[in-house]
Structure 1
Amino acid sequence: MTPEAVADLLPAIPDWSLAADGTEIVRRFAQPDFGRGFALVARIAALAEAAGHHPDLGLGWGYVTASLRTHAIQGLHLNDFILAARIDQAFDDQTSGDRSPVDRP
């Protein structure tokens, strides 16, 4: 993907940043606790499996990090931006009160 194409797509996912080397997009999601972070990771994993496209994820108390790139081309592809938008929607659903199965008793 050309730098111009990346620049055109980034505004659609404004909370994501382009890595310094230009080969991946990254986002950090603030979470109120470890359990909610874990629930978000589970949602992202389900999305990734359905898409056949797998981000690198980090999980700690109060945060989740995600980075996307297409390993086969060692850079960015349109699929990275599509999955980023889907991940954003999962985060928005979570923060709007939609409870994950992990949160249910």
Structure 2
Amino acid sequence: MSDLASQHCKVCEGGVSPLTPQEASRLLNKLAQQWQLSDDGREIMRTFQFKNFYETMAFVNAVAWIAHREDHHPELTVGYKTCVIHYSTHALNGLSENDFICAAKIDALVA
């Protein structure tokens, strides 16, 4: 498990700068290789594949629990056998360490 997965999100209401591309790349290397950094460097995303709708929804509910516990919420696109997760810190209009902490917790779900 990544050291990020053992951390907890910090309250972020703006007033600080988003991560630089270099900082984001460093943290991205701590996640599963399927996570991608957007071209503009403002979000990370990953697509998850499942056998059926039930597994997809079980995963979505687990992600919702992580989001609730960390008070940091992703954008989800849910399909029959897929879930695409996008993380960005809206208050910063870019990435924060919170995005990577939550992504690491999700990686731990499917490890």
1:22 aligns to what?
Answer: 41
Q: Is the aligned partner of 1:71 residue 2:90?
A: yes
Q: Is the aligned partner of 1:7 residue 2:60?
A: no
Q: Which runs of 5+ in 1 are unaligned?
A: 93-105
Count of matched residue pairs = 92
More helix by percentage: 1
TM-score, length of structure 1 as denominator length = 0.84
After superposition, residues 41-52 of structure 1 pair within 5 angstroms as: 41-52=60-71
Superposition RMSD in Å: 0.8
1:46-93 residue CA offsets vs partner (Å, 9 max, x unmatched): 00000000000111111111000000001000010000000111122x
Q: Percent identity?
A: 38
Distance in 1 (alpha carbons) for counterparts of 2:110 and 2:66: 12
Higher relative contact order (CA 8 A, sep 6+): 2
Q: Deviation above 2 Å: which 4+ runs of structure 1?
A: none
